[in-house]
Structure 1
Amino acid sequence: MKNLHWIWSYIKNLKLLYFSSVILLITESISFVYSITLQQYIIDQIIMGSNFGGILKYVLLIAFCYVIFIILFVVNPYIQSKIHGRIKYQLVEQGLSTLYSTPINIIQKERNARYVHFFTNEISIVAKLIGEDISDIIKHFVSTIIICVLFLKASPILFLSILTLSLFYIKTGKKLSNEQKKVSKDIQNKKSSLLIVLEECITSTRDVIANNRGDWEKTRYQNRFIQYFNSVMMEGKLKIKMVFSLESITSIAQIIVIGYGGYLVFKGEMSIGLLVVIYQLTIELLHSFVKVYNLVFSFSGKMASVENISNWFNTKPKQTENTKTIASIESLTMDNISFRYNSGGKFILKNFSLDIPIGKKIALVGFSGSGKSTIGSLLEGLQEVEEGSIKANNINITDISKDIWKAKVGIVFQDPYIFPSTIRDNLLLGYKQITDDQIMSLAEAMCIDDFIQKLPDKYDSSLGERGITISGGEKQRLALVRALIRDPEVLILDESTSALDVNTEKIIHNNLAILRENKTTIIIAHRLSTIKDSDVIFVIDKGKIVEQGCHSELLKNKSLYYELVMNEMKDNNSLMYQ
């Protein structure tokens, strides 16, 4: 019932078009059945009764029914496809909304191939179910009812015989449909697992070849494929049972109609014309049962996809009325927050508070796993706190419109994603409020323009899948330009220059200081030479602030920050901090 209610939520958005389609489909069935029943009059009254005066009338009626049937036979699939397309658009749109509103730690627990499977396979199945299959079930169900009524009027015994066979058929079909639902759900899960392994096979090609583990990877794929294949074969066995049931019922029904119908004609209780009509309608009735059965059989299987998609959509976090706006960020605080990536797991931050100076260059430093990157993700809104709150201008950021908050806060990661498109597309991501000269100016500041200018197509050069044609440092510099184009009020740099050499990194940070003057920049870094000129340095250890101050002040304390600096100086054999 829950799944049916979920389906209705999509149908009601297209009520007029959807119910118009159902009415036209029913009209198509009625016109076809009526064209068959008219044959009785031609056989009994005109041919057998030698009354040829009314033949034109019945021929025109049959022709009219056929014209209606042919027109609707062409128009109805078009309308159904239109409904199917609109519902698929809604599902994809809601899928993307669910994906983009899901906390990043939940997304990271799933494999990419599973989400790809949702969009490319299961949403298509659900859209067809809602857009076409349900209306087809109604059409064939109404057609079956009409033919049953005609059978009952012609011969109650024939009707009861066919009905008995049909009930037996439905009982068998119900049993098989329950099995089909389980098998279909298993197939979808096994297919998703197979796609995950296939994705790994492709993305790990370099490492597999380098370690000579091709046979191991093939074995992994083959094991998953065998599991998927066995599930498909199980479905095939169920379909064989279905075919056997249908063919048996078809043969028995035809024998009953010809045998008992011929007996009634011999006794004078049924006309030849009615027998011909009933025989044709028997085949049509069985075909209707077959279609209804197939659709219901398929419907049961596809309900597994409905359940998968509805459950996925229900994982979307319930949002508060996040419609508040702020003109500019005047204060930004993390108030007694607690956060962990897994429920029941270890807290990364516990009762953590931080008052971020606005318009300053701020640094977060500490050992790996101390919670620095987590703070950045929480400020940007990629993660949600378990306890406490993050406030901008004393407003919880969960109450602020997401679009507004994302426009005001930007983040650059250590390993940014590069789209398989041009450099220009990767920098803009659809943003249009900037000129080419401004883009080039920012690219020069991030030390990437020279590289771009040497390419054959310059800013229109393609970067390949995940930016395979460029280095890690070039990816990072492109990501920095991408963030600067939007000029956010708060910019978080999470190890965003870690792949650069020291000299280039120094130039970029000097340019960032000029570009970001009087704007809030939060730098998360292991290479401490990049943050020594920060206005405030927060030293994080085990999810808590243990020190804060400028570079010289913290060195004088000779505490954790001093230890971090000394360790780096020893590793680099450098005196760059003095």
Structure 2
Amino acid sequence: MISFKILKPFFLKNKWFYILGVLWLLLVDILQLFIPEILRGITNRLETNLLTQRQLALYALYVLLIGVTIGFFRFLWRMFIIGASRNLEYQLRNKLFSHLLTLSSSYYQRHKTGDLMAHLTNDIHAVRMALGPGIVALTDAIFLNIAVMVMMLRTTDYRLTVLALLPMPLLVVFMTKFGKIIHKRFKAVQEAFAAVTDKTQENLSGIRVIKAFVQEEAEINAFKEKNLLLLQRNLDLAKTFGIFHPLLQFLSSLSFTIAIWYGGILVIEEIITLGDFVAFTTYLALLVSSISSIGWVINIMQRGRASIDRINSILKESSEIQDFHDAKNLEKVKGSIVFDRVTFGYSNSSENILEEFSLKIPAGSSLGIIGKTGSGKTTIANLLVRLYDVKEGSISIDNNPITNIKLASLRKNIGFIDQDSFLFSTTITENIGFGADSYDIENLQRVAKVAGLHQDIMEFPKQYETMVGEKGITLSGGQRQRLAIARALIKNPSIFIFDDSFSAVDTDTEERILQALRTEMKNKTTIIIAHRVSTLKHCDKVIVLEEGKIIEIGDHESLLTKKGLYYDFYQKQLLEEVILKN
């Protein structure tokens, strides 16, 4: 049974397209049944020398009219059935893409991009083929087989029909067995294709790293292995068809052999006429082609089934981060934040990153976070925007637990600039305005100036309409970070989170940006995560993390006087600056 259950709403909505399409298709099949009868009449009249030129012209006109009518109805069923399948492809791709965007960040840590791309391309194409051309071939196979056998039995000697159809049960047995093998091998092909897609995407995205480390040959060899596996899987499938189709042709030829041998005897013995024999072989040709197409139907349906199973597996996934049933929108956010005994660990690790972590951030204040790599700095930011949910404890904004706030409302009120500074393959204007409901060029330029990017943009030939390239590859690391800052600023949120957002700019540029940001961040809650002490020295409060715990807290000056880990960071960075200057 093909698992197309998820498509039930689509079928209900588009049922008339399929019903009318199948109706036009059946009319085409019915018209095809007239051709053997015309040939019967012509042959019988020729045999008895009763065919006149007028009758011959009339028969030719019948064939012409049938051909034109078949062409018209064939156009109609293509528009209805194939058109509906194209609409299905469009809607299913939208459904799958929309669902992917609802899934949690952890899902993308477990699944590769190439595999997901294969679902959105090859798998959806296979489903469309099953529910477009597949339905056409299935309808033909069922109706023509029944209709042709009825016509053969009614218009010709039944013994000839029974003998000619003897090989047909063998066809059904072989097609059933081969169908299971095709399903299994096509699924393997799709998985191998996903591996090739993923390897390609990964290498093209990381091309600069590959070149920098002179790993072209190693990556080419790695790709060859993936591609070779795809070749082998395709050859396995091709071998199956290499046996399947010749076997169908052989069994079909047995039917024709029987028909010619026994039908010839019946003509010689004048049990049936020559016209009956010609009509019978024409019917048999229709039957054989129809039965042979069952092999293609099984192939296309098994491919569709394998693909819809893969798509189903994604659609069954649910986001770990969802709105609770009583979640509400935040209307006016002041920005006070409380972490209350928060414990959290990532699913791929047995250890907790944060352990009973507590912190209060007053509304409108600025907090700096510093610590060694892996101390939990970024985790704090990820939990605040609910990319992950805490194991124990709670996080509140304005005394509202963030689990009781709708995700869209929560994230709309937070301007999050993460470490990656991901940019889209579009213009600078569209990248900056990405998260804003609306914006104008004046506001766009204002936030770019605050982020220290405006001057750089004006030096580009197309200025704000400059295409940044895939992942912002045409920009420097510092320019990407500053563009990401501008993108957060234009949202005008109540809370800002800067997660190592100044690491790619020099200290002088950083100081200018921070100076401009102070006005922008006035009366807004600001969290700055950094590795440089100079980034945090103007924050109202700074916390020092170690193994997910706060080991020092205070402002810049008070932390220096404690001469703890913060003081060590400061001294090392002063030494680095001296070394760089010399």
Decide: shared fold, TM above 0.5.
yes
For residues 330-374 of structure 1, the C-alpha deviation after alignment (integer angstroms, 9 at most, x for no partner) is 454445444333256322234444444332222222221111112
Aligned letter for 1:127?
R
Distance 1:508 1:430, change over 3 A: closer
Distance 1:7 1:195, change over 3 A: same
Instruction: Give yes or no for the alignment of 1:245 onto 2:250.
Output: no
SS at match of 1:273: helix
Aligned runs of 1:209-358 on 2, under 5 Å?
209-317=211-319, 319-320=322-323, 324-330=328-334, 331-342=336-347, 345-358=350-363
For residues 109-161 of structure 1, the C-alpha deviation after alignment (integer angstroms, 9 at most, x for no partner) is 43322222222322222233234423432333222222222233334434434
Q: Distance in 1 between matches of 2:2 and 2:559?
A: 60
Asked if the contact 1:415/1:472 (under 8 Å) is kept, the reply is no
SS at match of 1:284: helix
Which of 348, 362, 368 does residue 367 from structure 2 map onto? 362
Instruction: Give yes or no for the alignment of 1:541 onto 2:542.
Output: no
Aligned letter for 1:222?
K
Aligned letter for 1:510?
Q
Instruction: Give yes or no for the alignment of 1:21 onto 2:21.
Output: yes
User: Which residue number corresponds to residue 125 of structure 1?
Assistant: 126
User: More deviation in 94-103 or 339-348?
Assistant: 339-348
Distance 1:521 1:118, change over 3 A: same
User: Which residue number corresponds to residue 36 of structure 1?
Assistant: 36
Distance 1:129 1:501, change over 3 A: same
Distance 1:483 1:524, change over 3 A: same
SS at match of 1:523: strand
Q: Distance in 1 between matches of 2:389 and 2:273?
A: 77
User: Which residue number corresponds to residue 141 of structure 1?
Assistant: 142
TM-score normalised by structure 2 residue count:
0.89
Which of 506, 511, 518 does residue 511 from structure 2 map onto? 506
For residues 263-283 of structure 1, the C-alpha deviation after alignment (integer angstroms, 9 at most, x for no partner) is 233344433333222211211
Q: Distance in 2 between matches of 1:443 and 1:195?
A: 37
Q: Distance in 1 between matches of 2:398 and 2:275?
A: 85
Q: Distance in 2 between matches of 1:337 and 1:56?
A: 91
Asked if the contact 1:103/1:384 (under 8 Å) is kept, the reply is no
SS at match of 2:93: helix
Instruction: Give yes or no for the alignment of 1:471 onto 2:476.
Output: yes
Distance 1:60 1:312, change over 3 A: same
For residues 258-309 of structure 1, the C-alpha deviation after alignment (integer angstroms, 9 at most, x for no partner) is 2222223334443333322221121111111121211212221332222211
Aligned letter for 1:361?
S
Q: Distance in 1 between matches of 2:129 and 2:109?
A: 30
Aligned runs of 1:132-211 on 2, under 5 Å?
132-153=133-154, 154-211=156-213
Shift of 1:416: 1.4
Shift of 1:474: 0.7
Gaps of 5+ in 1: none
- Number of matched pairs: 574
TM-score normalised by structure 1 residue count:
0.90
Aligned letter for 1:298?
I
Aligned letter for 2:263?
G
Q: Distance in 2 between matches of 1:106 and 1:279?
A: 59
Aligned letter for 2:118?
H
Distance 1:65 1:355, change over 3 A: farther
Shift of 1:206: 3.7
User: Which residue number corresponds to residue 439 of structure 1?
Assistant: 444
Q: Distance in 2 between matches of 1:165 and 1:152?
A: 17
User: Which residue number corresponds to residue 481 of structure 1?
Assistant: 486
For residues 356-405 of structure 1, the C-alpha deviation after alignment (integer angstroms, 9 at most, x for no partner) is 43322222222211111122122223334445554445555455444333
User: Which residue number corresponds to residue 83 of structure 1?
Assistant: 84
SS at match of 1:365: strand
Aligned runs of 1:347-496 on 2, under 5 Å?
347-392=352-397, 395-398=400-403, 400-429=405-434, 431=436, 433-496=438-501
Shift of 1:494: 0.8
User: More deviation in 237-246 or 102-111?
Assistant: 102-111
Aligned letter for 2:107?
I
SS at match of 2:503: coil
User: More deviation in 201-210 or 249-258?
Assistant: 201-210
Shift of 1:108: 3.1
Aligned letter for 1:294?
W
Q: Distance in 1 between matches of 2:23 and 2:136?
A: 9
Q: Distance in 2 between matches of 1:523 and 1:320?
A: 27
For residues 398-446 of structure 1, the C-alpha deviation after alignment (integer angstroms, 9 at most, x for no partner) is 5544433332223112221223332222222385621111111211111
User: More deviation in 350-359 or 303-312?
Assistant: 350-359
Shift of 1:317: 2.1
Shift of 1:48: 4.7
Asked if the contact 1:7/1:130 (under 8 Å) is kept, the reply is no
User: Which residue number corresponds to residue 5 of structure 2?
Assistant: 5
Q: Distance in 2 between matches of 1:573 and 1:446?
A: 27
Aligned letter for 1:419?
F
Asked if the contact 1:365/1:538 (under 8 Å) is kept, the reply is yes
Shift of 1:496: 0.8
Q: Distance in 1 between matches of 2:403 and 2:277?
A: 72
Distance 1:558 1:252, change over 3 A: same
Aligned letter for 2:22?
V
Q: Distance in 1 between matches of 2:196 and 2:527?
A: 41
Q: Distance in 2 between matches of 1:491 and 1:136?
A: 59
Shift of 1:65: 3.7
Asked if the contact 1:414/1:497 (under 8 Å) is kept, the reply is no
Distance 1:149 1:406, change over 3 A: farther
Aligned letter for 1:225?
N
Asked if the contact 2:88/2:128 (under 8 Å) is kept, the reply is yes
Q: Distance in 1 between matches of 2:308 and 2:107?
A: 21
For residues 455-488 of structure 1, the C-alpha deviation after alignment (integer angstroms, 9 at most, x for no partner) is 1111112223332222100111111111111212
Aligned letter for 2:25?
L
Asked if the contact 2:426/2:467 (under 8 Å) is kept, the reply is yes
SS at match of 2:461: coil
SS at match of 1:164: coil
SS at match of 2:498: strand
SS at match of 2:14: helix
Aligned letter for 2:223?
Y
Distance 1:498 1:63, change over 3 A: same
Shift of 1:555: 3.9
